[in-house]
Structure formats: C-alpha cells, structure tokens
Amino acid sequence: MKKTNPSFLNGVPELLVLRLLARREMYGYQIVEEIRTQTGEALSFGEGCIYPYLHYLEAEKQVSSQRREVEGRNRNYYKLTARGRKRLEALTSEWKRVTTGVSLLMEEQYA
C-alpha cells in the first residue's frame, strides 16, 4: 500500500480509524463495526479496506498492536502512537479544509 499523495476525498477510512483509536485501543473487526454504527450507517468500510490500513499504519508507526486473548477470542488490539496522533491532527484539519471548501462553493446563492 502506497499513500503518496492521497487526494482530498480518499483517506477518510484512515482518518476515522485514527480517530477511533484516539479514544481507546480497539481491534480491527471492532473498528469496522464502530465506523458503521457511529456514523449512523452513513459510512461503512469493509474489512478489505480497514485491515490493510491497520497494517499500513503499523508499518508507519502510527499505531502499535498487541495480540491478546479476550473472551476466548484472539484479537489484535491497536493503539495510537504519538506519531499517529500528529497524523490524526493533520488529517483532521485537511478534512475540515476540504469540507469547508465544498461548503463555500455549495452554499453560495443562486445567481
């Protein structure tokens, strides 16, 4: 996975993953579910999207993982690193910039 110059609109999964992990540590499957529920079903990214992101984020040292057995299940728990927190801040302000930009164009009066 290469994230060179992710343009405006993609990379939202990355933003949401980081944002969730900023609250508490979580495992992949749980992240998939929470993105769906906590966005009010507005967004839903499959495991085929989220797992590769987690691996990428770990390789980038934005998250760290720990395998743990909980409730008879093997889970990979991820938590944010300091670096990940910075990345989250950057992506957040980028997201705001973009949505603000869209609003500017959208909300202008009809001629």
Partner DNA sequence: TGACAAGCATCACAGTTTAATGTATTGTCG
Partner DNA sequence: CGACAATACATTAAACTGTGATGCTTGTCA
Binding site for DNA (CB under 7 A): 1-14, 27-30, 33, 44-49, 51-55, 70-76
Residues 18-57, one symbol each (x = binds a second copy by CB under 8 A, - = not), give -xx-xxx---------xx--xxxxxx--------------
**Nearest to a second copy of 6, 59 (CB atom):** 6
Bridge partners of residue 80, in order along the sequence: 63
Q: What is the C-alpha separation between 68 and 57, in angstroms, rounded? A: 19
Residue from 4, 30, 92, 93 binding a second copy (CB under 8 A): 92
Q: Which secondary structure element, helix H or strand E, spans residue 47, and what is its range?
A: helix 47-59
Q: How far is the CB of 82 from DNA (least distance, A)?
A: 22
Residue 8 Cα to chain centre, angstroms: 14
- Is residue 77 within 8 A of residue 66, CB to CB? The reply is yes
Rg (the chain; Cα; Å)? 16
Q: What is the C-alpha separation between 58 and 19, in angstroms, rounded? A: 15
Q: How far is the CB of 22 from DNA (least distance, A)?
A: 18
Site for a second copy, rule CB under 8 A: 8-10, 12, 15-16, 19-20, 22-24, 34-35, 38-43, 92, 95, 97-102, 104-106, 108, 110-111
